[in-house]
Amino acid sequence: MKRSSSGVPKGYVPISVGVNDENTRRFIIHTSTLSHTDFVEFLCRSVEEYGFSNDGVLRIPYEARAFEEWMKKEGKYKMGKVKPI
């Protein structure tokens, strides 16, 4: 898998999921996930919370554990969890 200079594999996007800093987790998701109906809802939540201008990684205000379960349930979408630094 080829990685870009940022360390994220080609075809993937880094995101941060969580409702508070303490429970936020970082993931990398395949770009095909972005068009999924449920993920569009996550994006709408992000816009409501942070607006369209946000510096840095895409942030999703949703329980990280529930998001991870959703990704596992969907199965066909590729996801990786990023270990905390």
Residue 41 lies in a domain: yes
Q: How many domains does the chain have?
A: 1
18-52 pLDDT, tens digit each: 988 788 999 888 888 888 888 999 999 999 988 88
Looking at the chain, the whole-number percentage of residues with pLDDT higher than 90 is 29
In whole angstroms, give the CA distance from residue 4 to residue 58. Answer: 17
pLDDT band at 77 (very low <50, low <70, confident <90, very high): low
Residue 46 lies in a domain: yes
Residue 28 lies in a domain: yes
Q: Read off the tokens for 17.
A: 């999921």
Residue 30 is part of which domain span? 12-82
Check residue 3 and give its pLDDT. Answer: 53
In whole angstroms, give the CA distance from residue 5 to residue 52. Answer: 25
pTM of the shown model = 0.76
Of 23, 19, 5, 8, residue with least CA distance to 82: 8
What integer best gives the mean pLDDT of the chain? 82
